[in-house]
């Protein structure tokens, strides 16, 4: 169609084409399904880089286009990782407990849960499954929590901050304080998420024992590329048209936009919550490739690095955020 979204934004089509070619080339050259010229560890690095590009894209929406310098978006990234990590660790531990009891009398559901809890939480001196793990045995529930937990946190935080008309550096300090508070809470053993030990063994996907890491790394690379492509489309859709003009107006002159009758706080709240959810999805894809997550990942310095990536690529340009994050990630890895 001559007036379609992609025809009006050919740069989006170019980006998506390049993004499709990238994982295809890596698959052909990789160890899992191709020529073996690219190692599995480097394919995981590339997959994690795509996830970092996705959270950088979210940061560009909230900072580059809406003018809110959030120093807390890595908290949402980490929460997404924790939500999916709980299922990965629970389901994997369940497999180990069941296989170790093979040949003996079948365990009752309560005995099975107690054995799983002992395996997971013995390292922090307890054998009880915390209440926050109530849905850890259900993949659909934990995937829903990947969106709901960070989304609700961002909505509640944003509601109080924006309705109080906190702006500028004061808002940045508040987001950083939120991140620090969450990090310090997760460091405690009674947080229910194993304190400083974090969640480990996340690279072992339950039910896929026969699939090697060389193949899994390629699968996650494609999943990360798909998420980045969809995120890029969504971001371009958000900043296009009237909505995009309003949030850019808020960035440039908030008082004037409010004088024109727009509900500035609602626009800010929507973008803040949306970008938190995008960051959480990026984290949910990142940590199974990293294999471990602990509270240090949510430290405020990580969110500062995120702002640096966007600044390097050029804030207010969606592709710039992707380029900046990819450049810094790959150079620092090298």
100-114, 248-262, 281-295, 296-310: the lowest-pLDDT one = 100-114
Predicted pLDDT at 128 = 86
Q: What is the mean pLDDT of residues 84-106?
A: 85
Listed in order, strand segments (DSSP E) in 131-201 are 199-200
Q: Which of 3-12, 120-129, 276-285 has the lowest mean pLDDT?
A: 3-12
pLDDT of residue 234: 94
Percent over 90 (pLDDT), the chain: 63
Are 279 and 286 contacting, i.e. CB atoms less than 8 angstroms apart? no
Q: How far apart are CA 96 and CA 63, in angstroms?
A: 45
Per-position b or e across 208-238, b if 16+ CB within 10 A of its CB: eeeeebbbbbbbbbbbbbebbbebbbebbeb
What pLDDT band is residue 103 in, cutting at 50, 70 and 90?
low
SS3 for 299?
A: coil
Burial of 139 (0-12, 13-18, 19+ CB in 10 A): middle
pTM, 2 dp: 0.94
Q: How many residues does the chain have?
A: 334
Question: pLDDT band at residue 1, thresholds of 50, 70 and 90?
Answer: very low
What are the C-alpha distances in Å from 153 to residues 68, 73, 157, 202, 279? Answer: 17, 11, 6, 24, 13
Q: Are 236 and 9 in contact (CB under 8 A)?
A: yes
């Amino acid at each position: 169609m001559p007036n379609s979204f992609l025809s009006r934004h050919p740069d989006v089509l170019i980006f998506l084409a390049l993004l499709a070619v990238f994982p295809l080339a890596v698959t052909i050259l990789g160890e899992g399904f191709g020529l073996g010229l690219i190692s599995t560890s480097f394919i995981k690095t590339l997959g994690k880089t795509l996830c970092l590009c996705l959270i950088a894209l979210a940061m560009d929406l909230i900072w580059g286009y809406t003018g809110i310098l959030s120093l807390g978006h890595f908290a949402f990234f980490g929460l997404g990782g924790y939500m999916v990590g709980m299922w990965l660790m629970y389901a994997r531990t369940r497999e180990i407990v069941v296989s170790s009891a093979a040949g003996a009398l079948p365990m009752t559901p309560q005995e099975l849960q107690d054995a799983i809890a002992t395996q997971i939480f013995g390292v922090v001196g307890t054998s009880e499954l915390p209440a926050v793990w109530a849905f850890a045995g259900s993949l659909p529930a934990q995937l829903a929590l990947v969106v709901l937990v960070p989304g609700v946190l961002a909505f509640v935080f944003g509601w109080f901050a924006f309705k109080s008309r906190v702006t500028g550096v004061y808002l940045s300090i508040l987001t950083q304080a939120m991140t620090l508070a969450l990090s310090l809470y997760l460091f405690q053993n009674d947080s229910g998420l194993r304190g400083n030990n974090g969640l480990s063994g996340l690279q072992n996907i339950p039910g896929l024992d026969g699939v090697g890491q060389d193949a899994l790394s390629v699968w996650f690379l494609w999943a990360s590329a798909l998420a980045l492509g969809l995120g890029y489309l969504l971001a371009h859709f958000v900043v296009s048209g009237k909505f995009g003009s309003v949030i850019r107006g808020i960035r440039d002159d908030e008082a004037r936009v409010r004088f024109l009758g727009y509900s500035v706080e609602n626009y800010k709240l929507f973008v803040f919550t949306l970008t938190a959810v995008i960051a959480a999805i990026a984290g949910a894809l990142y940590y199974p490739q990293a294999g471990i997550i602990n509270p240090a990942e949510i430290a405020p310095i990580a969110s500062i690095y995120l702002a640096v990536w966007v600044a390097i690529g050029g804030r207010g340009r969606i592709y710039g955020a992707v380029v900046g994050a990819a450049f810094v990630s790959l150079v620092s890895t090298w």
